[in-house]
Amino acid sequence: MDRVCLETDRLTLRHFEERDLDALHLLLKDEEVNAFLPWFPAETPDETKRFFENRLKDRPYAFAICLKGNDSPVGYIDVETGGSHELGYALRREFWHRGIVTEAGRAIVERLKEDGVPYIIATHDINNPRSGGVMRNIGMKYCYSYKEQWQPKNFPVVFRMYQLNLDGQEDRVDKKLWDKYQEHFVEEGLRASSSRKGQL
């Protein structure tokens, strides 16, 4: 895999390496950080290593978020390939509310445009509206909501799905999650504020 490094005013985004496992464990073991993520906090370094190998290692759009001048990751941001184009991110608690994920997200969006990725989607728990704020800040638009029995945590969650079309096809709405879950709906206030043109 080509080693890609992205830079912003405050950040360096680079691919994860084995040497980052200790810093990654600080993030993954934090219960508050993981409250809205689809897995339980990592209890052991071995669990962190498995996460690294399954979700971050050698993936083209999985980046460690580092502050300039400090090469130790404070978070991650990634976009899945293989058709889903789903954006995900997490940041250590002490770095919340500084616009760091928004800054990283804008950088990765520009990279995706250059690489010809047609669009990205992202979802957030309705009880985590700040994550939706990040999505809006990088240009994503609300499309619809759906209810899922979340696994492995096994409780019901209503998610909001956002999308950003990168190739100019503004009417496109990815309906995979709409079609997958029986309980789905559009929150009209959010839909109007996003000014979506696409129809479900």
Beta-carbon neighbour count of residue 87 at 10 Å? 25
Amino acid at 35: A
d(CA 146, CA 105): 24
| Residue 97: predicted pLDDT | 94
Same-domain check for residues 112 and 142: no
Same-domain check for residues 138 and 94: no
Q: Which residues contact 6 (CB under 8 A, 6 or more apart)?
A: 12, 13, 14, 63, 107, 108, 111
Q: What is the DSSP letter of 86?
A: B
| Residue 137: predicted pLDDT | 96
Amino acid at 150: W
Same-domain check for residues 141 and 193: yes
| Residue 192: predicted pLDDT | 64
d(CA 114, CA 194): 25
Cis preceding-peptide flag for 156 (omega within 30 of 0) = no
Same-domain check for residues 50 and 131: no
Closest CA relative to residue 35, chosen from 194, 157, 200: 157
Question: Structural domain tally of the chain?
Answer: 2
- 200 residues of the chain, pLDDT tens digit each: 567 899 999 999 999 999 999 999 999 999 999 999 888 999 999 999 999 999 999 999 999 999 999 999 999 999 998 788 999 999 999 999 999 999 999 999 999 999 999 999 999 999 999 999 999 999 999 999 999 999 888 999 999 999 999 999 999 999 999 999 999 999 988 876 665 444 44
Same-domain check for residues 97 and 139: no
Same-domain check for residues 30 and 111: yes
Q: Which residues contact 171 (CB under 8 A, 6 or more apart)?
A: 197, 198, 199
| Residue 118: predicted pLDDT | 96
**Residue range(s) defining the domain that contains residue 113:** 1-117
| Residue 33: predicted pLDDT | 93
Same-domain check for residues 173 and 186: yes
Element (H, E) at 190: helix 188-194
Same-domain check for residues 135 and 98: no
Same-domain check for residues 124 and 113: no
CB 123 within 8 A of CB 89: no
Same-domain check for residues 127 and 107: no
